[in-house]
C-alpha cells in the first residue's frame, strides 16, 4: 500500500519518515548538525544547482526538519512544505514568493491579533500592504481585490470568537481573480479541516499550538497544494520568470508542482533565515503522532464545556461554533465536520471585574497568552492582549471587557467544569 492511500492517523505517525538509513533507528533522529559532507565536488555542484536533492546547510534543509515539513504536507494533502521558526515566520514565508513592493493581500478582518499587527504595520516595511475585509461579505472581498492583489488570506476557525470561514466561497473568488487563497489552519489542524480540499493553495500553521500540542515549541509550517498555475499571468515573476536571486532559474518551469516549495527553501530560507531547529522539529513530530487522539478529546471537552456554560445563569453567551445556537453551526458542519475546535469566548455577567476575578480564581486553568496546549488555558483579552484598543475596537475584535477566551485542554472534563464552576461562584458573588 502506498503512502498516499494511508489514512490520517497512519500518516500522522509514518508520513515523511523511514528507518534511518545509517543506523536503522526507528524514530526520526535529531540531526543536530549544521552542515553535510559532499561526496565530491561534482555532488556539491549538483546540489547547489538543484539538479540533485540533498542536504547542504541546515539554514536551508535538515533531515529532522524535512521529516516534519513532509509529514504536515502529507496530512494536509499538499505537494510540499517548509518548516520555519514560528507561525509568524510561516506567514512571511508564505507571502515572500508572491509579493513585490506595491503588492497587497486581501485579508479577513477576523484574524489572530498578532497577525493583524503583522499585516497592518510590519509588512509595510517591505512595501507590501493588506486590505482587511469582513469575509462574510463576499462582494466586499471581490471588490477589494485589485490588479496588485497577490493573495486572499483567512483563518479556518478564527481566534478568538470561533468564527468559521467559508473556505469554498473564498477560494472561488480568489481563483476567479487568479490569486491563491492562503489559509491559516492553526486552530483547526488538518485533523479537523484540510483547506486544500476546499480550494486553498497555501496553508500556514503555528506549530506552536495543536501540532506540537503541549506548549514546548515555537514553530511554523507552510504547505503548498502544488496545483496553482503560477505562470497563468505575470503576477508571480519570482516563480514564473527567471529568478535573479537564484542564478536565473525559472522555478515553475523547472520544478512544476514543487516550484513554491523549492523557491521557499532555495531563496526564502536561504535569505530570510527563518529556519526551524532540529530539536524543535523533533518535539513537533512527537506531538503530531497523537494529533488525532488529542483533537478528538479537545473537541469533545470543548463541546461539553461550552454546553455547560451556555446553560449557566452566570454566563451571558458562548461563541463556540459547535453549539446549535452559533450562527456558524451549519457552516461548521461543512468546513470542520469532526468538530469546531476547542477555542471560544465566554461573556460573563458582571463585566470586566467578574472576568478578572474569574481568571484569578481558576486553579486548573493557566492564565497565559497561548492556545492549543494539552492544558486548559484562559485569558481576558480586554486587560491583556487587547488592552491598547478603544472599547469599540475591543467589541469589534470579539474581545469586549466582559469576555474571556478559553482554550479547552484534554484533562478530565469534569475537572475542567468543576474549576470553572468554583471560580465563577467567586467571580459573580
Ligand atoms: C499563534 C498563532 C499565530 C502565530 O504563531 P507563532 O508560532 O506564535 O508565531 C498565527 N496564527 C494563529 C491562528 C495563531 O494562533
Same domain? For 97 and 195 the reply is: yes
Residues 115, 120, 126, 130, CA torsion sign: positive
Number of domains present in the structure of the chain:
2
- Tell whether ligand 1 has an atom less than 6 A from the beta carbon of residue 373: no
Tell me which of 19-23, 28-32, 421-425 is least confident.
19-23
203 plus 331 within the same structural domain: no
Are 218 and 352 part of one and the same domain?
Answer: no
Do residues 249 and 353 both lie within one domain?
Answer: no
Q: Is the pLDDT of residue 3 over 70?
A: no
Residue of 416, 418, 398 lying closest to 407 (CA atoms): 416
Q: What is the pLDDT of residue 256?
A: 97
Query: Do 86 and 128 reside in the same domain of the chain?
Result: yes
CATH assignment at residue 109:
3.40.640.10
| Same domain flag for 132 and 190 | yes
> Based on the domain organization, do 275 and 343 belong to the same domain?
no
Query: Would you say residue 4 has pLDDT above 80?
Result: no
Domain end position, chosen among 245, 264, 287: 287
* Protein residue whose Cα sits closest to atom 6 of ligand 1: 87
pLDDT of residue 423: 98
> Are 85 and 170 in a shared domain?
yes
Ligand 1 atom nearest to CA at 370 = 1
pLDDT over 50 (residue 367): yes
Contact of 160 with 381, CB cutoff 8 Å: yes
Q: Which domain holds residue 115?
A: 3-287
Residue 160 in contact with ligand 1 by CB distance below 6 A = no
246 and 97 assigned to the same domain: yes
Residues 186 and 330 in one domain: no
**What does the DSSP assignment read for 128-159?**
-EEEEE-TT-HHHHHHH--TTEEEEEEESEET
User: Is there an atom of ligand 1 within 6 Å of 112 CB?
Assistant: yes
| Residues 68 and 284: beta-carbon distance below 8 Å | yes
How confident is the model over 79-113, as pLDDT tens digits? 999 999 999 999 999 999 999 999 999 999 999 88
pLDDT band at 413 (very low <50, low <70, confident <90, very high): very high
pLDDT given at position 90: 98
Both 280 and 306 in one domain: the answer is: no
At residue 1, the pLDDT reads 44
**pLDDT tens for each residue of 191-217:** 999 999 999 999 999 999 999 999 999
pLDDT tens sequence across 416-428: 999 999 999 999 9
249-278 pLDDT, tens digit per residue, is 999 999 999 999 999 999 999 999 999 999
Nearest CA to ligand 1 atom 5: 87
Mean pLDDT of the region 316-322: 95
Asked whether the CA dihedral 193, 364, 349, 369 is positive or negative, the reply is negative
Q: What's the mean per-residue pLDDT of the chain?
A: 95
- Same domain, residue pair 147 and 67: yes
User: Which of 287, 304, 329 is a domain's end point?
Assistant: 287
* CATH number of the domain bearing residue 339: 3.90.1150.10
Share of the chain above pLDDT 90, in %: 89
**Residue 399's pLDDT is what?**
84
Of the pLDDT bands very low, low, confident and very high (cuts 50, 70, 90), residue 291 is very high
> Which residue's CA is the nearest one to ligand 1's atom 8?
87
Cα torsion angle, 128, 256, 196, 11, sign: negative
Which residue, chain included where needed, has cell 541546515?
58
Closest-CA residue, ligand 1 atom 1, reads 206
With a 6 Å cutoff on the Cβ, whether 206 touches ligand 1 is yes
Closest residue by Cα to residue 184 from 169, 172, 170, 200: 200
Identify the domain boundary among 229, 259, 287: 287
**What does DSSP say about strands 377-379 and 366-367: parallel, antiparallel, or unpaired?**
parallel
Predicted TM-score of the model (pTM): 0.96
Amino acid at each position: 500500500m502506498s503512502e498516499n492511500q494511508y489514512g490520517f492517523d497512519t500518516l500522522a505517525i509514518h508520513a515523511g519518515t523511514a528507518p534511518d538509513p545509517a543506523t536503522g533507528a526507528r524514530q526520526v533522529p535529531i540531526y543536530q548538525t549544521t552542515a553535510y559532507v559532499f561526496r565530491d565536488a561534482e555532488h556539491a555542484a549538483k546540489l547547489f544547482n538543484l539538479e540533485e536533492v540533498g542536504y547542504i546547510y541546515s539554514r536551508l534543509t535538515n533531515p529532522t526538519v524535512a521529516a516534519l515539513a513532509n509529514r504536515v504536507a502529507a496530512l494536509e494533502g499538499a505537494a510540499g512544505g517548509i518548516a520555519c521558526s514560528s507561525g509568524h515566520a510561516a506567514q512571511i514565508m508564505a507571502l515572500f514568493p508572491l509579493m513585490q513592493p506595491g503588492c497587497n493581500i486581501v485579508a479577513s478582518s477576523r484574524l489572530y491579533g498578532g497577525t493583524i499587527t503583522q499585516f497592518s504595520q510590519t509588512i509595510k516595511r517591505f512595501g507590501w500592504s493588506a486590505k482587511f475585509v469582513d469575509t462574510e461579505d463576499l462582494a466586499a472581498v471581490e471588490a477589494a481585490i485589485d490588479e496588485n492583489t497577490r493573495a486572499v488570506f483567512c483563518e479556518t476557525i478564527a481566534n478568538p470568537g470561533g468564527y468559521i470561514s467559508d473556505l469554498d466561497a473564498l477560494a472561488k473568488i480568489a481563483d476567479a481573480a487568479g490569486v491563491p487563497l492562503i489559509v491559516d489552519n492553526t486552530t483547526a489542524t488538518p485533523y479537523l479541516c484540510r483547506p486544500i480540499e476546499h480550494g486553498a493553495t497555501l496553508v500556514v500553521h503555528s506549530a506552536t499550538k495543536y501540532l506540537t500540542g503541549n506548549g514546548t515549541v515555537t514553530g511554523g509550517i507552510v504547505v503548498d497544494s502544488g496545483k496553482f498555475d503560477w505562470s497563468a499571468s505575470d503576477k508571480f515573476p519570482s516563480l514564473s520568470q527567471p529568478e535573479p536571486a537564484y542564478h536565473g532559474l525559472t522555478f515553475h518551469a523547472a520544478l512544476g508542482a514543487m516550484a513554491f516549495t523549492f523557491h521557499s527553501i532555495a531563496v526564502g530560507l536561504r535569505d530570510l533565515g527563518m529556519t526551524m531547529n532540529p530539536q524543535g522539529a523533533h518535539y513537533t513530530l512527537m506531538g503530531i503522532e497523537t494529533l488525532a487522539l488529542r483533537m478528538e478529546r479537545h473537541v469533545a471537552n470543548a463541546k461539553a464545556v461550552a454546553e455547560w456554560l451556555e446553560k449557566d445563569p452566570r454566563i451571558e453567551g458562548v461563541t463556540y461554533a459547535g453549539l446549535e445556537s452559533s450562527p456558524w453551526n451549519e457552516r461548521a458542519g461543512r468546513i470542520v465536520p469532526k468538530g469546531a475546535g476547542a477555542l471560544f469566548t465566554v461573556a460573563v455577567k458582571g463585566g470586566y471585574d467578574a472576568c478578572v476575578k474569574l481568571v484569578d480564581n481558576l486553579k486548573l486553568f493557566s492564565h497565559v497568552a497561548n492556545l492549543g496546549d494539552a492544558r486548559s488555558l484562559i485569558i481576558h483579552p480586554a486587560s491583556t492582549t487587547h488592552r491598547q484598543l478603544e472599547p469599540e475596537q475591543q467589541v469589534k475584535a470579539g474581545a469586549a471587557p466582559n469576555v474571556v477566551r478559553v482554550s479547552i485542554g484534554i484533562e478530565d472534563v469534569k475537572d475542567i467544569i468543576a474549576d470553572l464552576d468554583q471560580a465563577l461562584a467567586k467571580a459573580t458573588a
